[in-house]
Amino acid sequence: MTTKKAVQNDISYRLISSPKKSILKEIPIEKRGFVLLGLSKIVQQKLLDQLNIEEIVNVIHYLAPDESTDILQNILDQKKRKSVIFELSPETRKKVEFLLTFNPRTAAGLMSLDYVKISNDLNFSQVSNIIQEHEKRTGKFPTLLVVDKQDILVGELPGHVFALRKKTEKIKDYIEKVPTIKHDKDEKRVLRVFKKHPGNKIVVLDGNKKVLGVIYSDDVIKLMNKESTRELYESAGVSEEESIHDSAYKKVKYRYKWLILNLATAFLAASVVGLFKDTISSFVLLAAYMPVVAGMGGNAGTQTLAVVVRGLALKEIELRIARKVIINEVIAGAINGIINGALVAMVALTFNQNLVLGIVTGVAIMFNLMTAGFFGAIVPLIMKHFKKDPASSATIFITTATDVIGFFTFLGLASLIL
C-alpha cells in the first residue's frame, strides 16, 4: 500500500522535472509550503511565478515566519512579493518584513523568531505563566532566552530545570550559557560556531548584544547540505544555479568558460609532450605509461587539496604557518611515490620485460606525487590569502602543475636513459 509520504515524495520528484502548478496542487494545501521549501531555488522560482497572490498566501499560511521569508525571497517579481506580504496577517507581516531586511546569506538571514524573552529576575511561577500563554498561542514549548534589565542576553533557561523547582524560586541560578553570533556574520561563520558548540541553537545578536533571533540546528543542517552542494559544484566548475533538468543551452552557458580554461591548460601540458616527440617516436611504449604518471599526480593533488581546504574551512591552517603542512605533504608524496613507483616497475618488468622503463616511470611518479603534495597544499593557501575561493578553481592549477611536471620528468628521464 502506498503511503502518504511516498506519494508526496513522488510529487516532489515530478515537480523537479516539471515545475507545474497543477502538480503542486495535488499536495494538500497545508503541506505545499513544506514541499516548496524542499525544492531547489530555481524550481521554487518557477512554481511561485505560476501561482497567484492568493495561492501563495494560502501556501505560506501554514509556515513559520522564517520559512515564509525563505519562500518570499524566491518571488522575483517585487510588486507581486509586496502584494503577498500585504495580504499576510499583521503579526506575520511584521515578522516577515523584519526578516526580509537582512541579507539571506548572513546569520540574521538564517534566524527564526520562534523564541520568548524573559527577565532574569523572574521566578519559576511567573515563567510558567509565560510558557502557558505561548503554548496556547502556538502549541509549542518555547525557547526561553533570558535578558537583563538593559535587554542584554544573559543566557538560556532550559526546559528540564522546571522539574522539582519551587514556584517562588528565582530562575537566575539555573540560566545556562548559549552560543551567540553577530547578525552580519556570513554562513561559513555560522557553521564554524555550530561546530565549535554542537548544541541545538545559536542566538543571533545585534550590534548592541541584544537578541534578534535564533538559528536552530535543523536550519544549520540545511545550510551544511547547501554548502556541501555548493563546494561540489564549484570544485567541478559547475554553476550553483544549474539544475539537472536545465536545457542544453543553459548547461553550455554555465560551463563553457571553465572548459575553455581547462582547454588552455591542456594545451600547455600538450606543448611539454611536443618537446619530446622524437623520444616518443623512437620508443612508442612511453605513450602507454604517460596517462599513469599524469593520473597518479592528479589524484594525489586532489587528495591533498581536500585535506587543506577542510583545514582552511575549520581555521586550522593559514599561509603564514603552513610550512610544516607543505613539507609533510611533500614527504608523504615522496613515500607514496616510492611505493607506487615500485609497483609500476614490477608491472613494466612483468608485462613489457623492460625494467628500465619501469624505473623511469616509477621515478617520474615519485616526483609527480611530490609535486602534487606541494601544489595541492600551496595553491589553496595562496588563493585563500588573496580572498579567492580555493574550492572553485584550485583543482585546475594543481592538475596543470602535475601534468606539466609529470610529463617533463617522465619524458626527460626517458630521453636521457632509454
CB 90 within 8 Å of CB 199? no
Strand 144-147 vs strand 201-205: parallel, antiparallel, or unpaired? Answer: unpaired
The DSSP bridge partners found for residue 210 are 152
Tell me which CATH homologous superfamily contains domain 4-101: MgtE N-terminal domain-like (1.25.60.10)
Round to whole Å and give the CA distance between 248 and 234.
19
CATH tag, 116-217: 3.10.580.10
193 backbone dihedrals φ, ψ, rounded to 5°: -65, -45
**Quick one: average pLDDT of 77-82?**
93
Residue 91's CB is within 10 A of a number of other CB atoms, namely: 10
DSSP class of residue 143? P
Top-confidence residue, 319 or 4: 319
Which cell numbers hold the place of 218?
Answer: 535543523
Written as one letter, the residue type at 141 is F
Q: How much is the pTM?
A: 0.60
pLDDT category of residue 83 using cuts at 50, 70 and 90? very high
Summarize pLDDT for 245-304 with one digit per residue, the tens.
566 777 787 778 777 887 888 888 889 898 998 888 888 889 889 999 999 998 999 899
Q: How many helices (H) and strands (E) does the chain have?
A: 18, 6
Summarize pLDDT for 165-197 with one digit per residue, the tens.
788 899 988 999 999 999 999 988 998 888 888
Q: Could you tell me which residues come within 8 angstroms of residue 215 by beta carbon, excluding any fewer than 6 positions away? A: 107, 110, 111, 112, 181, 190, 194, 201, 202, 203, 204
| pLDDT at 1 exceeding the cut of 50 | no
Round to whole Å and give the CA distance between 401 and 333.
14
- Residue 357 CA, distance from chain mean position: 44
Q: Is 215 helix (H, G, I), strand (E, B) or coil?
A: strand
CB 179 within 8 Å of CB 199? yes
pLDDT for res 227 = 67
Round to whole Å and give the CA distance between 405 and 403.
6
Residue 269's CB is within 10 A of a number of other CB atoms, namely: 20
**Quick one: average pLDDT of 382-410?**
83
DSSP class of residue 217? H
Round to whole Å and give the CA distance between 203 and 223.
16
| pLDDT at 325 exceeding the cut of 70 | yes
- Residue 397 burial by CB count (10 A; 0-12/13-18/19+): exposed, middle or buried? buried
Round to whole Å and give the CA distance between 107 and 190.
6
DSSP class of residue 276? T
Three-point CA angle 344, 346, 352, nearest 5°: 90
Pinpoint the residues of the chain covered by CATH 1.25.60.10.
Answer: 4-101
Sheet holding 201-205, edge to edge: 180-182, 201-205, 211-216
Pinpoint the residues of the chain covered by CATH 3.10.580.10.
Answer: 116-217
Domain 248-417 classified CATH 1.10.357.20? yes
Q: Is 26 helix (H, G, I), strand (E, B) or coil?
A: coil
Q: Report the percentage of the chain scoring pLDDT > 70.
A: 90
CB 57 within 8 Å of CB 82? no
Q: Which residue, among 349, 364, 198, has the nearest Cα to 294 in the 3D structure?
A: 364
Pinpoint the residues of the chain covered by CATH 1.10.357.20.
Answer: 248-417
Round to whole Å and give the CA distance between 231 and 399.
18
Q: Could you tell me which residues come within 8 angstroms of residue 122 by beta carbon, excluding any fewer than 6 positions away? A: 170, 171
